[in-house]
Amino acid sequence: MNKERIIDDFIKMIKIHSPSKKEKEFADYMVNLLKELGAEIYLDNGFKNYGGNAPTIFAKIKGNIEGEGVTLAAHMDVIEPNSNVNPIIENGIIKTDGTTTLGGDDKGGIACIVETLKTLKENNISHEDIYVLLTPCEESGLQGAKNVDWTLVPENIKPAKNMLVIDNAGRAGIIAHTAPSKYDFEITFKGRKAHAGIEPEKGINAVCFAAHAISQMNIGRIDSLTTSNIGIINSNSPTNVVPDTCFVKGEIRSHSEEKILEIIKEYDLACKKAAEKFEGTYEFNYICDFPTLKPKDNLKFAKEFAAVYESLGVETELKVIGGGSDSNIFAKEGYNSIIIGVGMNNVHTVDEYLEIEELYKTTEAVIKYISK
């Protein structure tokens, strides 16, 4: 591993602006780089379904050892504001001048992948097939991963089932293996308009209707593996009109989809009872945003990678997390993912920074795992 090179590559990457739906320049950069490293490339054009401009990149580095291989995955988009990043290196971290995000989420992960491939190639290290999977639009609803047309991916380039997703916040050594499903729900409460100052009794206030229903819902931490939240309540009505419509949007996360559906039924019942009280009507719609992520091998892969970390003196922690990632989407296709970090902190904020030593540790672990 070349420590100076990995930092140089990371700096180059974060200076290429790649917000969600506008990752083409960075995707072109990565395609050219992967080709230079000897990769066979396939580009999925699912971005056309959601108005983006960059493909999901599938790459394969042919190995010289028999085996199932391994997949290295990361995402190419970053959280705004991220234009004209001014990176500052000091005290073992890389940060910005405070006007932009850094883009370490997830270009730190991509820098790790690139350095792994460069090190293996220049040192002629034997390895099984290596697959690289880089997605656009992860930060905007996992759209890149969701819109891959797997029927068009050539069989010889379909990724290996064991997948290292290098996109975890925090230090090296934390290995996330389980994550919840998330369902989004939308409720439209319908009342009746009336003049709020002259004859309010003739109206049915949809905001009050919605508030009553919500007051009967269990929101927040429901149990150790289940959470719920309402983030949007909107009627957009002038104050002199009794509002006839109120729109509510929220989410439920759980490691049990059965639990989510049970909660949805409870919420629907709360709406029904409120409708009877207020003599209004409502529409309740929900959709699975992403499924659960669970190990498919009783944590065998996670424990194998933990052993590599520990052999390098890195303390490990196998972890259940509450967020979602591309891993949840890939799980539907049978992929067995673990999510590891490279020292990114305060992600999604202008205070974001990357711990250089943690980037080194994970890159060294990935190289060692692949060259086992």
d(CA 132, CA 283): 43
Bridge partners, 287 (sequence order): 184
Where is 146: in which H helix or E strand? Answer: helix 143-146
Residue 225 is classified by DSSP as T
**Tokens 């064991």 sit on residue:** 162
Q: Check 138, 167, 352, 364 and give the catalytic one.
A: 138
**115 in catalytic set:** no
What dihedral angle (degrees, nearest 10) is formed by the CA atoms of 87, 93, 97, 103?
60
- From the candidates 9, 23, 44, 77, give the one annotated as an active-site residue: 77
Give the Cα separation of 170 and 87 in Å (integer). Answer: 19
8 an active-site residue?
no
DSSP 255-322: S-HHHHHHHHHHHHHHHHHHHHHHT-EEEEEEEEEE--B--SSTTHHHHHHHHHHHHTT---EEEE-S
341: DSSP letter = E
Residues annotated catalytic, as ranges? 77, 138
